[in-house]
Amino acid sequence: MQPLVILAPMSGFTGSAFRRLARRLGADLTWTELISAQMILVKGLDDPLLHVTDAERPVRLQLHGSEPRAILEAAERVCREIAPDGLDLNAGCPARKVVRSGSGAALLTDLPRLFEMAKGLVEIARSHGMEASVKFRLGFERDEMERIAETLLRAGVKILALHPRLAREGFSGRARWSRVRDLKQMVGKDARVYLSGDVKSLEDFHRAAAETGADGVMIGRAALTRPWIFTEIKAGKTLELKTADRIALLEELHAYADHLDAEQRLKMLKLFAPKFLKGVPGRRKLLPHLLAAESVEEFFTRLRMLDETHRSQTDQSPEEDGQLSGPPHHGGGRLHLL
Ligand SMILES: Cc1cc2nc3c(=O)[nH]c(=O)nc-3n(C[C@H](O)[C@H](O)[C@H](O)COP(=O)(O)O)c2cc1C
Q: pLDDT tens digit string along 160-184?
A: 999 999 999 999 999 999 999 999 9
Output the pLDDT for position 338: 53
Q: Is 109 in the pocket of ligand 1 (CB under 6 A)?
A: no
Q: Mutation test of ligand 1: which of 5, 6, 10 has the most ligand atoms closer than 8 Å to its C-beta?
A: 10
Provide the pLDDT for residue 320: 34
Type of residue at 274: P
Ligand 1 centroid to Cα of residue 15, in Å, is: 13
Which of 5, 6, 7, 11 maximizes ligand 1 atoms within 8 Å of its Cβ, making it the mutation to test the pocket? 11
Low pLDDT (below 70) residues in the chain: 310, 313-338
Q: What is the pLDDT of residue 63?
A: 98
Q: Where are the alpha helices (DSSP H) in 239-282?
A: 243-255, 262-276
Say how many C-beta atoms besides its own lie within 10 A of residue 294's C-beta. 8
Rounded Cα–Cα distance for residues 318 and 105 (Å): 49
Look at residue 336 in the predicted model and tell me its pLDDT. Answer: 63
The closest-lying atom of ligand 1 relative to the alpha carbon of residue 219 is 26
Provide CB contacts within 8 A for 234, sequence distance 6+: 5, 26, 338
Find the 327 Cα to ligand 1 centroid distance in Å: 35
Is the C-beta atom of 164 inside 6 A of ligand 1? no
Report pLDDT for 110: 98
Question: Whose Cα sits closest to atom 29 in ligand 1?
Answer: 10
Pair 91, 134: CB distance under 8 Å: yes
Q: How far away, in angstroms, is 34 Cα from ligand 1 center?
A: 10
Cβ–Cβ under 8 Å, residues 55 and 28: no
Query: In angstroms, rounded to a whole number, what is the distance separating the alpha carbons of residues 265 and 255?
Result: 9
CB 31 within 8 A of CB 88: yes
> What DSSP string runs through 28-77?
SBEE---EEHHHHHHH-S-SGGG---GGG-SEEEEEE-S-HHHHHHHHHH
Give the catalytic positions in this structure: 93
Q: Which residue is closest in CA terms to ligand 1's atom 22?
A: 197
* Tens-digit pLDDT profile for residues 24-83: 999 999 999 999 999 999 999 999 999 999 999 999 999 999 999 999 999 999 999 999
- Among 232, 230, 165, which residue's Cα sits nearest to residue 196? 165
C-alpha–C-alpha distance, residues 244 and 126, integer Å: 45
ω into 58 cis (within 30 of 0): yes
Nearest residue (by CA) to ligand 1, atom 4, is 10
| pLDDT computed for residue 316 by the predictor | 47
Query: Under DSSP, is residue 247 helix (H, G, I), strand (E, B) or coil?
Result: helix
